[in-house]
Structure 1
Amino acid sequence: MIDENATANWFSKPGDSIRVIMQQRNISAHDLAESFEDGLDAVRGLIDGSRQIDGPTASTLSAMLGATAKFWLKRQENFDIAVDRAVSQVQESGQEELLLRLPAPGPKARGKLSLERRAAELRRRLVFFNVPDAQSWAGRYGRLVGETDYRTSKTYASKEDATLLWLRRGELEADMVQTRVWSAENLLDRLREIRKLSMIRHPQLFLPKLKTLCAEAGVALVVVKAPDGCRASGAIRMVDPDKAMLLLSFRYKRDDQFWFTVFHEIGHLVLHKANTFVDGDALPGDADRESEANEFAAECVIPPLRESEFQRIKPERDDIVRFSVSIGVAPGLTVGQMQHRGMVEPNKLNYLKRTWDWSQINPATV
């Protein structure tokens, strides 16, 4: 029997229906975006609930996804009513202050808020995190640190709010990525092809291929630039029972750091799925798990069978390039490992690494 009191404030975004139909009909976010003047921004807004379905939007959805325009308008109306009900129940429960302290995208509200603005800010947070109350938020995000592995610089302190916003935006981006059912075995089967992508110079060329390989193994690979205060370079999380997210920030914008982060996160996915995403007991700072993921990543760069040869490399350009080509990775990755292991100084041979800026990265993220 369903407990009506427990589900009274539950709501479902129209974007949930949109995602299901897109998956069923094999319609990609890019396919749907072509029908909107503002492209992927429109699809993002519909998926995350921030964009209202009006008459023209309802007609577009009807043409692209099926059902009538009236259905989509009613779907929006029911959603609005449900969210308004959730806001009222939160206010009556005394949870309002707790939820208003949560981070939200966009500019922060300043000064004393009117009752109307408080309700709007509360609504914004419930919709953004897709939760109807504080208990639901705590169940889904309250132990986020314990459920999520993310690489972060030890030199800087991460602000929890900024990291949470980055992770949530990653989840929303992952919602738009169609994948097969998550399989660690399938991901490992594609690891050799993933390694080869490090040889490709430009993000616009290797990122689409990387996304495809990951999606074939049930992993939604997404790139979200970290907001101010968030020092994370990568994260993984199970966003659905059969779908994993691999989130990247391109924090260092350098090939050795980028690819090591990719391999590190894949290591967590294939080595620690049960501990990290089912139990949620382990912390991201757990030394054993981090050490295992680092070792996995290092072996992705330098295969164990080539380790002795690697140790004998001379710190010279031609030797490094020759060895890197023979193992199938970019020279910058080999240099990164040499620096990490103290074989060369950190300021030496960096010209062999590829660096990018956001003008090169952004076109590859859409």
Structure 2
Amino acid sequence: MGRNQETHAEGGVRMTEQAQHDWFSPVGDSVLAAMRRRGVKADSLSQALQGGRDELRAILAGQTDIGDRTATILARILGGTAAFWTTRQKNFEEALGRSIDALNEKESEVWLGTIPIPTRRRLTKSNRKEELQRRLRYYGVSSLSGWQRRYVLDRTATRFRSSNSFTSDEGSLSLWLRSGELEAAMVDTKSWDAKRLSELLPEIRALSRFSNPSVFVPKLQSLLAKAGVAFVFVRAPNGCRASGASRMVAADKAMLLVSFRHRSDDQFWFTVFHEIGHLVLHGAEPFVDLDGGDADDRFEREANAFAEELVVPKKMQPELTGLPNRKKEIVSFARRVGVSPGLILGQMQFKGLAPFSRSSRLQRTWTWNDIEAAFES
């Protein structure tokens, strides 16, 4: 489980000295800033736009330009004038052009060969510049170093400065994180409040008893939103081993991103509890948790212990250690603890008290259709 130690300039959270001097700023950043300043919710702005939520998402992702019609709507709802928004778009396009011109050949090859975007196209000599533009637009950065600061996990690595090379796994992870950020921008929440999140933990853990994602996902989203946390799902792209991530996406808004990587209730809920642990215990630090990650990291041990105690309170953990590996006893214990039997069995498996078995009926497994339908409702 890897720790991501720096936030990005565009999110307005905690900037490194280098990030403070970045001059490149996508139009979507100004839209988000104006929405926060005026207290405009994503749903309200979406309803005013001709293309609804899809258009707002595309604006934030840099996948559509702000024309006269949209500029007029933004001016009416977010402030400024229509001319301000069209000029903002023009200035961004000029800055984007300068960014492309400043890329050296090695950087261009990394962008085009390693760092993906959602919609892939065949790369040709004639569309190379357009494809570079699409990537810088989507990630909202002006250079490869900006992308590295924002998305690459290994902050101590020197290979970027020496070779400008990254692995495809890092590229797929950055795509997952960026997609999560854009989904989080569409979720309306209260202001981030760690104390409130802690107060909501009993209600959150009780949701693990529901078997249908279409039932517990909206409830979980609503509870987390009360504490300023946008709960979002993005299916992990090929090469991405991430199960969950937590980070501040604005000064007053956190993101809890899940991939449902294993699609089982024990894995899902432990990931949720683990990421909540990071948010409660470790403040605004960004974290990305990967399969087979660094179990020796202090922050990961603390988040794991937090999640374990959410599943089974400390005073009942000795009883878990002596629990027979039989369905009746596991179900009875889970009922007394107040979580799903699958979570109890998952803890027993992790502690070596029960064998790993995909055939266990105590652990619920969902289809991708089940999961996607829950987030569309």
Q: TM-score range by the shorter chain?
A: 0.7 to 0.9
SS at match of 1:352: coil
Per-residue deviation, residues 178-221 of structure 1 (Å, max 9, x unmatched): 44443433322222221011122222222222223323333322
* Closer, same or farther: CA 346–134 of 1 in aligned 2, 3 Å: closer
Structure 1 residue aligned with 2:67: 54
* Closer, same or farther: CA 8–324 of 1 in aligned 2, 3 Å: closer
| Correspondence for 2:253 among 224, 240, 243 | 243
* Closer, same or farther: CA 365–109 of 1 in aligned 2, 3 Å: same
Per-residue deviation, residues 232-254 of structure 1 (Å, max 9, x unmatched): 21122233444332210011111
Structure 1 residue aligned with 2:7: none
Is structure 2 residue 309 aligned with structure 1 residue 296? no
Is structure 2 residue 25 aligned with structure 1 residue 12? yes
SS at match of 1:44: helix
8 Å Cα contact 1:62-1:72 kept in structure 2: yes
The amino acid of 2:294's aligned partner reads G
Alignment of structure 1 residues 190-209 onto 2, 5 Å: 190-209=200-219
User: What is the distance in 1 between the residues matched to 2:215 and 2:249?
Assistant: 27
Structure 2 residue aligned with 1:72: 85
The amino acid of 2:185's aligned partner reads D
Is structure 2 residue 153 aligned with structure 1 residue 144? yes
Q: Give unmatched runs, 5+ long, in structure 1.
A: 1-5, 148-156
| Correspondence for 1:257 among 267, 285, 296 | 267
Is structure 2 residue 318 aligned with structure 1 residue 308? yes
User: What is the distance in 2 between the residues matched to 1:40 and 1:241?
Assistant: 23
Is structure 2 residue 335 aligned with structure 1 residue 325? yes
8 Å Cα contact 2:114-2:168 kept in structure 1: no
User: What is the distance in 2 between the residues matched to 1:187 and 1:94?
Assistant: 45
8 Å Cα contact 1:59-1:68 kept in structure 2: yes
Per-residue deviation, residues 44-77 of structure 1 (Å, max 9, x unmatched): 1011111122344334445554555444333322
8 Å Cα contact 1:187-1:214 kept in structure 2: yes
The amino acid of 2:255's aligned partner reads M
User: What is the distance in 2 between the residues matched to 1:319 and 1:180?
Assistant: 41
Give the superposition deviation at 1:304.
0.9
TM-score by length of 2: 0.79
User: What is the distance in 2 between the residues matched to 1:307 and 1:133?
Assistant: 49
User: What is the distance in 1 between the residues matched to 2:286 and 2:77?
Assistant: 35
8 Å Cα contact 1:158-1:231 kept in structure 2: no
8 Å Cα contact 1:166-1:227 kept in structure 2: yes
The amino acid of 2:297's aligned partner reads D
User: What is the distance in 1 between the residues matched to 2:206 and 2:273?
Assistant: 12
* Closer, same or farther: CA 65–363 of 1 in aligned 2, 3 Å: farther
Per-residue deviation, residues 13-35 of structure 1 (Å, max 9, x unmatched): 22223223333444332333334
Structure 2 residue aligned with 1:287: 296
8 Å Cα contact 2:246-2:286 kept in structure 1: no
8 Å Cα contact 2:231-2:255 kept in structure 1: yes
| Correspondence for 2:170 among 160, 166, 169 | 160
When structure 1 is superposed on structure 2, of 329-338 and 201-210 the one drifting more is 201-210
* Closer, same or farther: CA 303–286 of 1 in aligned 2, 3 Å: closer
Larger RCO of the pair (alpha carbons < 8 Å, separation 6+): 2
Per-residue deviation, residues 56-113 of structure 1 (Å, max 9, x unmatched): 433444555455544433332232222223223336x985444444413145554552
Residues paired across the two proteins, number = 343
Is structure 2 residue 230 aligned with structure 1 residue 220? yes
Give the superposition deviation at 1:277.
4.4
Structure 1 residue aligned with 2:239: 229
The amino acid of 2:40's aligned partner reads I
* Closer, same or farther: CA 241–20 of 1 in aligned 2, 3 Å: closer
User: What is the distance in 1 between the residues matched to 2:20 and 2:247?
Assistant: 26
* Closer, same or farther: CA 313–97 of 1 in aligned 2, 3 Å: closer
8 Å Cα contact 1:9-1:86 kept in structure 2: no
Structure 1 residue aligned with 2:34: 21
Give the superposition deviation at 1:227.
1.0
When structure 1 is superposed on structure 2, of 347-356 and 191-200 the one drifting more is 347-356
User: What is the distance in 2 between the residues matched to 1:7 and 1:265?
Assistant: 28
8 Å Cα contact 2:61-2:137 kept in structure 1: yes
User: What is the distance in 2 between the residues matched to 1:317 and 1:138?
Assistant: 48
Structure 2 residue aligned with 1:34: 47
User: What is the distance in 2 between the residues matched to 1:16 and 1:86?
Assistant: 17
User: What is the distance in 1 between the residues matched to 2:95 and 2:101?
Assistant: 10
| Correspondence for 1:44 among 57, 65, 69 | 57
Structure 2 residue aligned with 1:124: 134
8 Å Cα contact 1:19-1:176 kept in structure 2: no
8 Å Cα contact 2:61-2:138 kept in structure 1: yes
8 Å Cα contact 2:230-2:256 kept in structure 1: yes
CA RMSD of aligned residues (A): 3.2
Per-residue deviation, residues 225-274 of structure 1 (Å, max 9, x unmatched): 11122222112223344433221001111111100111122223333447
TM-score by length of 1: 0.81
* Closer, same or farther: CA 165–56 of 1 in aligned 2, 3 Å: same
Is structure 2 residue 199 aligned with structure 1 residue 189? yes
User: What is the distance in 1 between the residues matched to 2:232 and 2:375?
Assistant: 7
8 Å Cα contact 2:116-2:172 kept in structure 1: no
User: What is the distance in 1 between the residues matched to 2:22 and 2:34?
Assistant: 25
Is structure 2 residue 125 aligned with structure 1 residue 113? yes
The amino acid of 2:36's aligned partner reads Q
